[in-house]
Chain A
Amino acid sequence: MTSQPGKHIHAGRWIRPERLGGSPEWTAGLRRHFTAVWITAGLVTLCALLPVVGFPALYVAAVACGAFYLDNEPLALLRLPELSASRLLVRKVLTAWRNYFLLTIPFTLLAILAHPRTAWIAAAWAPLAALALLYAVVAKYAHYAPEGSSRHPLATRFGSAGFLFPVLLPLSLALTVSYALRAERNLNRYLHDYD
Chain B
Amino acid sequence: MPHWLYSPGNMTVTSENIITVKNLVKKFGSFVANDRLTFEVKKGEIFGFLGANGAGKTTAIKILCGLSYPTSGELSVAGFDIYTQREKVKQNIGYMSQRFSLYDDLTVYENIRFYGGIYGLLKKEIDSRAHSLMLQLGFESARNKLIRDIPLGWKQKLAFSVAILHNPKIVFLDEPTGGVDPITRRQFWDMIYEAAHTGITVFVTTHYMDEAEYCDRVSIMVEGRIAALDTPDNLKQQFDAPSMNEVFIKLARA
Chain A complexes with chain B = no
Interface residues of A (CB under 8 A from B): none
Interface residues of B (CB under 8 A from A): none
